[in-house]
């Protein structure tokens, strides 16, 4: 027996040295990119065949769907997962922590207040709260914790102990969490936890973003998002005005791909939102080719496209905004608004100049410049105020017929059908600037 004990002790020491720990953090607001990061981290931990996973938490919560996804991923994970709450784990953070096999907290940390709210900060409908209560109970039972406490973290009407007064959600300090079985110990660092379990020599593998993660992060930058919205809307507008040119369409397609794919990979954008965006394009095309000048379909199309691009950012479920934070909504609104305003400004500045370029004139004009047909050029008298008809389609350049003569003309970006009454509002050399009369 005396010879066996040293051998066992040596074996345990070698095991401690050989152990591998995978470590990553969840900081700030929990969102869909957070859930994608956790998926990536857990997948790498499994590939590395680690012995434990430690997730350090300091979060006020965030998107309910993202926190719920992380909760289930941890519950289903075959390797033990420890949570180290370094400061706070409120709301979605507590939902993540309770899924872990063990919970450790620093001095002054808190856990609790798990209640879903809507975009205005008010309590979400009862069906959402009921679902979170059930999830909290199930998570507590899976890790042998008191499910009544977990439920009281969601529902303030449930009174569990003297620490909670009626109308207040459970929020435990470190010592309170230890007393009630929601914390295995008080430690101020991950190193202290490992030292306590004699694993200070264990290999720690830290999560680091991959090259792809960095590329996705670049395109999710609000400034880049706004630029892509500008390129998408501007490119589509100019392509519809002058079909066949190609470059605006290519720019719009590339911009849409760079916008949609990163959001899709982060779990934010859905296929139906992309279809909604194409529906907006269809409305704009309807305005240009079927009902020019009405503006109704143009405005409706822009609103639909604007809404689709905005929804791609926030990780909503259908058209419901339950669980979407105000911060995510404001960021989406501001980003898409900047891009839309920039696109409108670009269209206003470039449309008249592009209309007179050789490439666009070549695409728009289908009529011979035969003088016998009544065409005139060279020096023209002042024509401002004159009225006539569109001799060809103007989109935005073409020909107009005034007082028995045909003139080169272009609009300020509007589409005018052949035969429509027009009025001259400006003049640039031998070309007239017209609008629909």
For residue 401, name the pLDDT band (cuts at 50, 70, 90): very high
List Cβ neighbours of 300 (8 Å cut-off, separation of 6 or more): 280, 283
Nearest to 422 by CA among 435, 409, 432: 435
22-52: pLDDT as tens digits: 999 999 988 878 888 898 899 999 999 999 9
Look at residue 8 and tell me whether its pLDDT is greater than 60.
no
pLDDT top residue among 247 and 274: 274
- What percentage of the chain has pLDDT greater than the value 70? 82
Query: In this predicted model, what pLDDT tens digit does every residue of 292-309 receive, in sequence order?
Result: 666 788 888 888 988 999
State residue 299's pLDDT score: 85
Sign of the alpha-carbon torsion through 69, 75, 79, 84: positive
Q: What pLDDT score does 330 carry?
A: 81
Q: How far, in Å, CA of 334 to CA of 340, rounded?
A: 10
**More confident site: 220 or 6:** 220
What tens digit of pLDDT does each residue of 152-196 get? 898 876 666 545 555 678 899 999 999 999 999 999 999 999 999
The average confidence (pLDDT) of the chain is 83
Residue 11: band (very low, low, confident or very high) from pLDDT cuts 50, 70, 90: very low
Cross-strand pairs, 116: none
Alpha-carbon distance of 229 to 252, in angstroms, equals 9
What is the model's pLDDT at position 103? 98
Residue 403 predicted with pLDDT over 70: yes
Q: 401: closest CA among 424, 381, 382?
A: 424
* CA distance linking residue 32 with residue 44, whole number of Å: 19
Which distant-in-sequence residues (6+ apart) come within 8 Å of 65 by Cβ? Answer: 32, 315, 317, 323
CA distance 22 to 28: 20
Instruction: Give the model's confidence band at 119: pLDDT under 50 very low, under 70 low, under 90 confident, else very high.
Output: low
Kindly indicate the confidence band of residue 241, based on its pLDDT and cuts at 50, 70 and 90.
low
Q: What is the CA radius of gyration of the chain?
A: 32
Residues 361-379, mean pLDDT to the nearest whole number = 48
CA distance 187 to 64: 28
Token reading at 299: 């405005």
Neighbour-count burial for 94-113, b at 16+ CB within 10 Å, e otherwise: bbbbbbbbbbbbbeebbbbb
**Structural domains of the chain, ranges and CATH numbers in brackets:** 15-208 (3.90.226.10), 212-355 (no CATH), 363-436 (2.40.50.140)
Give the model's pLDDT for residue 267: 74
- Residue 371, pLDDT > 50, answer no
């Amino acid at each position: 027996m005396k010879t066996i004990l040293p051998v066992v002790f040596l074996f345990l020491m070698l095991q401690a040295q050989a152990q591998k720990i995978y470590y990553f953090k969840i900081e700030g607001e929990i969102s869909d990119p957070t859930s994608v990061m956790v998926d990536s981290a857990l997948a790498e931990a499994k590939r590395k065949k680690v012995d434990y996973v430690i997730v350090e938490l300091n979060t006020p919560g965030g998107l309910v769907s993202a926190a719920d996804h992380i909760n289930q991923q941890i519950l289903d994970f075959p390797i033990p997962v420890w949570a180290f709450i370094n400061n706070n784990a409120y709301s979605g953070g507590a939902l993540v922590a309770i899924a872990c096999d063990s919970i450790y907290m620093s001095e002054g940390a808190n856990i609790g207040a798990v209640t879903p709210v809507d975009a205005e900060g008010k309590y979400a409908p009862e069906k959402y709260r009921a679902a979170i209560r059930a999830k909290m109970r199930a998570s507590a039972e899976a890790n042998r914790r008191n499910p009544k406490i977990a439920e009281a973290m969601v529902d303030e009407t449930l009174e569990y102990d003297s620490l909670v007064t009626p109308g207040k959600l459970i929020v435990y300090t470190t010592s309170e969490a230890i007393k009630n079985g929601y914390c295995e110990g008080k430690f101020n660092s991950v190193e202290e936890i490992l030292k306590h379990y004699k694993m200070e020599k264990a290999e720690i593998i830290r999560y680091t973003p991959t090259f792809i993660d960095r590329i996705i992060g670049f395109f999710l930058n609000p400034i880049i998002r706004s630029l892509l919205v500008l390129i998408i809307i501007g490119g589509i507008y100019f392509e519809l005005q002058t079909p066949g040119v190609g470059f605006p369409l290519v720019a719009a397609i590339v911009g849409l791909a760079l916008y949609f794919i990163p959001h899709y990979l982060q779990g934010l954008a859905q296929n139906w939102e992309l279809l909604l965006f194409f529906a907006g394009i269809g409305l704009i095309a309807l305005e240009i080719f079927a009902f020019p000048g009405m503006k109704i379909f143009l405005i409706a199309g822009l609103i639909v496209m604007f809404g689709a691009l905005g929804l791609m950012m926030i990780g909503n479920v259908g058209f419901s905004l339950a669980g979407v934070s105000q911060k995510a909504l404001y960021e989406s609104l501001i980003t898409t608004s900047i891009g839309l305003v920039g696109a409108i400004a670009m269209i206003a500045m470039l449309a008249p100049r592009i209309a007179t370029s050789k490439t666009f004139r070549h695409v728009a004009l289908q009529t011979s410049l035969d003088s016998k047909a009544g065409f005139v050029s060279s020096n023209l008298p002042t024509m401002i105020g004159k009225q006539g008809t569109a001799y060809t389609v103007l989109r935005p350049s073409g020909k107009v017929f005034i007082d028995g003569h045909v003139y080169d003309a272009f609009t300020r970006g509007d589409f005018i059908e052949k035969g429509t009454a027009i009025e001259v509002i400006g003049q640039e050399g031998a070309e007239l600037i017209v609008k629909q009369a």
